[in-house]
Structure 1
Amino acid sequence: MRLHIDPTFTKELPADPIIQNTRRQVEKACFSYVTPRVPSAPSLAHVSKEMAKTLGLSEDDLASQRFLHMVTGATVLEDTTPYAMCYGGHQFGHWAGQLGDGRAINLTEVTHQNKRWALQLKGAGATPYSRTADGLAVLRSSVREHLCSEAMYHLGVPTTRSLSLSLSGDKVLRDMLYDGNADYEKGAIVCRVAPSFIRFGNFEIFASRQDTETLKTLVDYTIRHFYPQYEGGTKENYVGFFNEVVQNTLEMIVHWQRVGFVHGVMNTDNMSILGLTIDYGPYGWLEGYDPGWTPNTTDRQNKRYRFGNQPQIGLWNLLQLANALFPLIEDAAPLEAILQTYHTEYPKKYIAMMREKLGLQLALEADIQLITDLEKNLQASETDMTIFFRNLAQISKEESTDVKNSFFAFGEAEVHTERSRSAKAETESHTKHIEVPTKSLKAAFYKPEEIAGTIRSDWETWFTAYQKRLSQERLSDEERTVQMNRVNPKYVLRNYISQLVIDEANKDNYELLEEIHNLLKHPYDEQPAYEHWFAKRPEWARNKVGCSMLSCSS
């Protein structure tokens, strides 16, 4: 196995002088050296061959014992020094002090085809930042991270990646619901990949300690390797760097809103300095279009990280980053101006994104009201966001079309009896009666009978306005369908799908994992063989653990 190892983080940044792996406050250092815990019986559950190829790994490499040992921490690669990062963060709006890589160990950095990648193991043992935790991870959360990382990439959402999912052979004690009923689960390890795993919190920790020297060293390093256009160490460069981070973060969050993704834990220690989606914990996709929904049980009461609040939280987190960078700039005005730009630009980018979802190329002032009315209607009755926007592309702009009837009788939903070939008896009982939409918009509603009275009237009014708006566009219906299908995915990683995969994986069956992994590599394609996954959440999954809300337990 040949990897071009080129570590920069450990060579160019200050290290924790204490070598012992004891829980402690780490001062004036960006990282601590850590050796992964050797698993008792490591085995490979799944590999993203696409990601492996991106790193320059061959099929033979993936089959080697050396690869297995690398992605499970069983052996430390020669010429590498694994480490855990030191960072802090605001959690649920409150400063939490030092946090750090408590469950992640960075192996090294590699380069291939002029691109740099950091390899990181999640669940490979304790670090000085683990506090009272064990540094391990369980299979259910690892399956979710492995699948979602790659799913987001193929959706076109900036994200960290996943190379592999492995079993450690060890049992890990977890209280899944934080209700005092802890139990042993299968231990697992994900090998995560990104150009860098630096977060907002990496800078916050040094600013909070007034350690401007280390802060400057880290900022200069980050700029040198990831924002080289702002090298120079001047205040103007630091302002330019911050502006670029703001724009990257804004772009990422617009993508989240486009596909209906809810991160669930937008703490500042979970915000990538590169504008990547990072740390897949209690995430989820909207089933019903509900801006107030959060997948995080910890956030159930206040709903700070709900879908509709993600843009505002992004701005709040960027404000904390601005505060952390302030000691290097010592001028609040340019930072405030950049944050104001986010505040004014997000609504514009959101409207532009929604125009794309609606198949509108012209930018008309009336579109804002059209979008506002649509969002109100989508919330009036439980409506599946993914199915609605995907099937909306079938509406004709021809004035002769009876849009009212086409909306309510545009092909009834069918019952799909094909069962997932890789799922066994228990899974089959869940999947065999999944309702599968045809091209129907009616199929997006969980309770079509609720579309009556005022709700139906509002929908009829909206569709009449939408059809009139489409008539102002130059694209034909067929051309518009193609355009809309490029931004409205047909397949997303719904929580109930993840749970079905987890159920099978717990029985040592990874066929469904492979099927879903393949499905999510082409989320905008029709994929007739996988049509049964283009479906609303089944009723059995509405309140099932793992299929609706989740905890941070992993």
Structure 2
Amino acid sequence: MKTFKTHIEDTFTKELPADPVLENGRRQVTEACFSYVTPKKTSQPQLLHVSPELLETLGISETESQSDEFLNVFTGNEVLPNTKPFAMCYGGHQFGNWAGQLGDGRAINLTEIKYKNQRWALQLKGAGPTPYSRTADGLAVLRSSIREYLCSEAMYHLGVPTTRALSLAVTGDQVLRDVMYNGNSEYEEGAVVCRVAPSFLRFGSFEILASREDTKTLKQLTDYTIKHFYPELGAPSKAVYLEFFKTVSNRTLDMIIDWQRVGFVHGVMNTDNLSILGLTIDYGPYGWLEGFDFGWTPNTTDRQHKRYRYGNQPNIGLWNLYQLANALFPLIEDVEALQAILDDYRTQFETKSLQMMRSKIGLFTEDETDLKLIQRLEDVLQMMETDMTIFFRNLSKFEKDKKSNGLDLIQDAFYNPQTMPKDAEVFWQQWFQDYGTRLQQETLSDAERAEKMNAVNPKYVLRNYMAQLAIDDAEKGDYALIDELFQLLKQPYAEQESAEKWFAKRPEWARNKVGCSMLSCSS
């Protein structure tokens, strides 16, 4: 990786204060943004998959990715020359409660590079303990690593702002985990994912400093973030800090609108899992909507209160932004200006959500009746179990002059079509009548409208059962399905007739299976 090494340009460790303690012991870290730490060596690493697109983005050739050096660096067995790996310090609100210091408990940042005027941070997840690991071992297992690797790249190809994943490897070591936190711990195969993003800074990176009244380091971190990731805002000042917060707010909302569009549920939107760059970060107990359901959450820990349910994600985004506003307040000291930005989030959500839903059902002009039409659709979608992905994809086949065949087009989206209540059928028929009438106002032909709808409604997403099938095979030493799904999800909006088997509802065996319907934070 000779050329790659020439692009190393570390800024985080050179421009921000470091933890002066070098021993890797669990502790509270103050007046610092990170701690130096070396990845734990693995006994028998094996590379399972590498993202060709990300290799190219980082300036690494395919030949180099097959080298022993690549394997060793991206599984923690070798440190790149002239670099010092580190773990980041941050805090966070977890399920609405301040949790204090959290930090990179199982993530170790290797280095930063600058290639083709783009800055990238490279981070290993599952590479061993850090000062922030608390009582954990800092390791990750194969099942969660497969889910993170596949979903990171799948989200990228869906056009959703996200961190990326360069590589997936097994370590040859066994890791003890209690999957459902029910006292049944078992050994699982260890794994490491190399995650890539311009930065892994989170809301919690700023919160921890404000909570400790460390305004000096807070200003250093905020100035650093603006300098490298928001340079268009200009030199730091109170006005620029305010604009910084506004930009973060806008990016966060845009990301969540994209989540809603494709049916993605993050599962654990704690403030330590919200990126300061508006990227989807930390793929833990995430899930994809099968049946359209505003109340669904994939996280077993959240099952009782459903704080992070699909329909509540925009509200949690705003709640988290309130916490970030509190953290940045010492630099801004203007309650009204911060509140105005938060209020604008609410307004913008209504506007952007309506715009997003219009695009999903093929309305590219505006009419005052659109909101009611969409609300009626969301109501009828929940009258019986209706697959979100299949419904919106098949809706593109609707012909505005054939209003009566709407139900026929979406039959495949119903999990139990034979049990449809009579009132639901009446609602559907009326909705299609009104939808067809509304489409008469559109100037696009049916074919042109279908093309636009299919560009925002994916045909293929990483359904939970699909990832679980890949995990089941991988745990038996068969990694072929990882690559099959990886290739499939690179073109989520394309028809891909040869992959039609994946355009299907969740099979019944997966309805209540661990890993398909029930997920925990266990990694």
Q: Deviations over 1:377-416 (max 9, x none)?
A: 0000000000000000000011xx2x33x234x3xxxxxx
Q: TM-score, normalised by structure 2?
A: 0.99
Shift of 1:95: 0.2
Counterpart secondary structure, 1:545: coil
Q: Does 1:93 align with 2:62?
A: no
Asked if structure 1 preserves the Cα contact closer than 8 Å seen for 2:226 and 2:236, the reply is no
The correspondence of residues 118-197 of structure 1 with structure 2, limited to 5 A, is 118-197=121-200
SS in 2 for 1:105: strand
Q: State the 1:112 CA deviation.
A: 1.1
What's the counterpart of residue 510 of structure 2? 541
Tell me, in whole angstroms, the C-alpha distance in 2 between the residues paired with 1:302 and 1:157.
27
2:297 corresponding residue in structure 1 = 294
C-alpha separation between the residues in 2 aligned to 1:363 and 1:340? 24
Task: Spell out the pairing of 1:223-242 with structure 2 (5 A cutoff).
Answer: 223-242=226-245
- In the alignment, which residue of structure 1 is the partner of 2:117? 114
Alignment partner of 1:28 is 2:27: no
Task: Work out the CA distance in 2 between the residues paired with 1:450 and 1:288.
Answer: 15
Q: Following TM superposition, by how much is the alpha carbon of 1:529 offset from its aligned partner in structure 2, in angstroms?
A: 0.8
Aligned length: 520
Cα RMSD between the aligned structures? 0.6
> Is contact 2:43-2:171 (8 Å) kept?
yes
In 2, the alpha carbon distance for the partners of 1:292 and 1:80 equals: 46
Percent identity of the aligned residues?
66
Q: Does 1:463 align with 2:432?
A: yes
TM-aligned CA deviation for residue 82 of structure 1: 0.1
For residues 452 and 118 of structure 1, what CA distance do their matches in structure 2 show?
A: 53
The residue number in structure 1 matching 2:343 is 340
- Matched with 1:453 is 422
Amino acid aligned to 2:435: Y
- Secondary structure of 1:468's counterpart equals helix
Other-structure match for 2:330: 327
Note the C-alpha offset of 1:146. Answer: 0.0
Per-residue deviation at 1:30? 0.2
1:50 aligns with 2:53: yes
Cα deviation code 1:37-83 (max 9, x no counterpart): 00011110110111111100001111100000111000011011000
TM-score, length basis structure 1: 0.93
- Deviation, 1:231, is 3.1
Kept after mapping to 2: 8 A contact 1:294/1:549: no
Secondary structure class of the residue paired with 2:44: coil
1:352 positional shift: 0.3
Q: Within the alignment, does 1:66 sit opposite 2:69 as a pair? A: yes
- 1:450 offset after TM fit, Å? 2.6
The answer for the alignment partner of 1:529 in structure 2 is 498
Match among 258, 273, 276 for residue 273 of structure 1 = 276
**Amino acid in the other structure paired with 2:293:** D
Q: How many Å separate the matches in 1 of 2:507 and 2:63?
A: 41
Q: Distance in 1 between matches of 2:406 and 2:247?
A: 43
1:407 and 2:406 matched: yes
**1:211 to 2:210 alignment:** no
Equivalent in the alignment of 1:490: 459
Question: How much has 1:92 moved relative to structure 2?
Answer: 0.1
Q: Which residue of 1 aligns with 2:288?
A: 285
Q: Deviations over 1:151-197 (max 9, x none)?
A: 00000000000000001100000000100000000000000000000
- Residue of structure 1 aligned with 2:413, choices 434, 444, 451: 444
Secondary structure in structure 2 of the residue aligned to 1:380: coil
**SS, match of residue 333 in structure 1:** helix
Report the Cα offset of residue 451 of structure 1.
Answer: 2.2
Are 2:52 and 1:83 aligned? no
C-alpha separation in 1, matches of 2:421 and 2:162: 41
Q: C-alpha separation between the residues in 2 aligned to 1:178 and 1:59?
A: 40
Equivalent position amino acid for 1:196 in 2: S
Q: What is the match of residue 437 of structure 1?
A: none
Question: Separation in 2 of the partners of 1:499 and 1:57?
Answer: 30
Gaps of 5+ in 1: 411-439
* Contact 2:19–2:30 (CA under 8 A) maintained in structure 1: yes
How far residue 233 of structure 1 moved from its aligned partner, in angstroms, is 2.1
Equivalent residue for 2:489? 520
The whole-number CA distance in structure 2 between the counterparts of 1:111 and 1:345 is 34
Answer yes or no: is the 8 Å Cα contact 2:48–2:169 preserved in 1: yes
Q: Does 1:202 align with 2:171?
A: no
Q: How does 1:500-511 map to 2 (within 5 A)?
A: 500-511=469-480
**Does residue 550 of the first structure (1) align with residue 519 of the second (2)?**
yes
- Tell me, what secondary structure is at the counterpart of 1:292? coil
Q: Which amino acid aligns with 1:105?
A: I
CA displacement, residues 198-226 of structure 1 (integer Å, 9 cap, x when unaligned): 00000000000000000000000000000
Residue type at the aligned position of 1:67: F
Q: Is the 8 A contact 1:489 1:523 kept in 2?
A: yes
Structure 2 CA distance, aligned partners of 1:152 and 1:514? 16
Q: Counterpart of 2:161 in structure 1: which amino acid?
A: P
2:447 aligned residue (463, 473, 478): 478
Q: 1:232: Cα distance to partner?
A: 2.0
- Spell out, residue by residue over 1:251-275, the C-alpha distance to the aligned partner (whole angstroms, 9 max, x if none): 0000000000000000000000000
CA distance in 2, matches of 1:407, 1:343: 34
Using the alignment, how far apart are the partners of 1:103 and 1:164 within structure 2?
A: 16
Q: State the Cα deviation string for residues 266-318 of structure 1 (Å, max 9, x = none).
A: 00000000000000000001000010000000000000000000000000000
SS state of the match for residue 116, structure 1?
Answer: strand
Q: Secondary structure at the match of 1:108?
A: strand
Contact 2:106 2:139 in 1 (8 A): yes
Deviations 1:455-484 (A, max 9, x none): 110111100000001111000000000000
Cα distance in structure 1, aligned partners of 2:435 and 2:287? 29
Equivalent in 387, 390, 397 of residue 387 of structure 1:
390
Note the C-alpha offset of 1:452.
Answer: 3.2
**Within 2, Cα distance between the matches of 1:482 and 1:71?**
40
Partner-residue secondary structure (3-state), 1:40: coil
CA distance in structure 1 between the aligned counterparts of 2:42 and 2:136, rounded to whole angstroms: 17
Provide the residue aligned with 1:422 in structure 2.
Answer: none
Distance apart, 1:344 and its partner CA: 1.0
Q: Determine if the alignment matches structure 1 residue 363 to structure 2 residue 362.
A: no
The answer to whether the 8 A contact 1:220-1:231 is kept is no
Unaligned runs of 5+ in 2: none
C-alpha distance in 1, partners of 2:226/2:115?
20
Check if 1:259 corresponds to 2:262.
Answer: yes
User: Is contact 2:40–2:127 with CA below 8 Å preserved after alignment?
Assistant: yes
Shift of 1:549: 1.9
CA distance in structure 1 between the aligned counterparts of 2:329 and 2:15, rounded to whole angstroms:
23
Aligned counterparts of 1:230 and 1:14: Cα–Cα separation in 2: 23
Q: CA deviation at 1:234?
A: 1.1
Q: Give the counterpart letter for 1:528 in structure 2.
A: E
| One-letter code aligned to 2:494 | D
State the alpha-carbon separation in 1 of the partners of residues 463 and 410 from structure 2.
Answer: 19
